[in-house]
Amino acid sequence: MNSQRIPLSLAAIWNMSFGFFGIQFGWGLQMANMSSIYQYLGASESDLAILWLAAPVTGLIVQPIIGHYSDRTWTRLGRRRPYFLAGALLASAALVAMPNSSTVWMAAGLLWVLDASVNISMEPFRAFVGDLLPPSQRQLGFSMQSLLIGLGAVLSGSLPWIVTHLGYGGGPTPHGQIPHAVHVAFYLGAVVFIGSVLYTVVTTAEIPPDGTLPLAPDAGRSAAYQIFHGLFEMPLMMRRLAVVQFFTWLGLFCMWLYFAPAVGTEIFHGAPGSEAYQKGVEWSGVCLSAYSFVAFLVSFGLVALARKGIGTRTLYRTGLVCAGLGLVSTSLWHRQELLLVSMVGVGIGWATILSMPYAMLADAIPPEKMGFYMGVFNFFIVLPQIVAAAVLGPVVKHLFAGHAMPAVVTGGASLLVAAAALAFVPRDNPGAA
């Protein structure tokens, strides 16, 4: 396959990446609204962390398995595209069902389905870049994904707020029910998700195998054995980069988990179920859209820098520092508009987080295991989320006296630790030693 990789046009890279717009649209709706959905249905702030556990656990299980089998798949649709499509269909169905949840545990169960389905679509998209682009264009490919992720997050995070202000919010919501604006947003999200993935499936062909890549499990070895064995053969760069990922996503999970409750209770001074709290949650969605919009704009710069051959390391470290300082600064404000200042830093960081580590990783792993190692790399995204889900609830309840804002600040500190850990990542790939 290496010999068949030729540079692609920007239009072709846009087409192959466009499905990520829909994936992020669905994921952005989940990130911005699940905490408030749980609270609308009666969950307390100290319950949120454990209720979110579904998301990282499904990623931990699903991504390496999907990566392993997508490395060994070839059908009429190709290697990765069958997984894009199957995940999109399942995720769209879960998006339609989610706002119709009547209990906390129904919503938690649907989150398992939704997150597993998103992971089925998302993981092969990372490997897609390594499959189709030469090394010289991989940073550009991941930067294009970052751009489309930013665009999807901008629209999805603010969608309930937009629906309400267009007059389709449905008025006051009875206690224990999910607002009508959330229903409309999730239904629209289902359409966007499946439509975007279909666009990539239709417009982008995959390269047929040339005999060098495995299309079936090794004889006498189970998939479980190969996955387990592969964990111990990770290249050194991947191992060190995994530490950076761990602290990065620990910080991000703190934000996604507690930012909406923090804004609703500590900026808008509302209680779950009150009108003030609902306005705070909607404003938090606007803030999440703001950082995604900044990331969208920054991604244009990343695309330009990638085409000029600017390295990833400095960009990545700068982004992590900006994101960390942005989250720490959220505790300084008492007016809702000033939160947008913090989101600028978070947006700069988010653009680099979505692209730079994958560009570094793609050059450090063997092409015949591209999907598998991209899935394994996800371990170091979901493991910190599992840690956060297990630990943050008691910490918020007992150490932070039930206040959500200190948890957001803790997330900022974790991102600064990630920036420091990047110094220990090798500048080249010395192998698996």
Residues of the chain with pLDDT under 70: 1-4, 46, 54-55, 169-176, 209-227, 230, 273, 306-310, 428-433
Q: Rounded to an integer, what distance in angstroms lies between the CA atom of residue 379 and that of residue 61? A: 9
Q: What is the pLDDT of residue 3?
A: 45
Contact 13, 299 (CB under 8 A): no
Within 8 A by CB and 6+ apart from 112, the residues are: 54, 57, 58
Q: Which residues contact 17 (CB under 8 A, 6 or more apart)?
A: 125, 129, 141, 144, 145, 147, 148, 200
What is the set of domains in the chain, with CATH numbers?
9-205+235-424 (1.20.1250.20)
pLDDT at 246: 94
3-class DSSP state for residue 78? strand
- pLDDT at site 433: 34
Rounded to two decimals, what is the model's pTM?
A: 0.71
Tell me the C-alpha distance between 317 and 315, whole Å.
Answer: 6
pLDDT at residue number 36: 82
Q: What is the pLDDT of residue 394?
A: 85
The pLDDT score that the predictor gives to residue 124 is: 81
Calpha distance 17→147 (Å, rounded): 9
pLDDT, residue 371, reads: 75
Give the DSSP letter of residue 75: B
Give one DSSP letter per residue of 187-228, joined into a string: HHHHHHHHHHHHHHHHH-PPPPP-SSS--SPPTT--HHHHHH
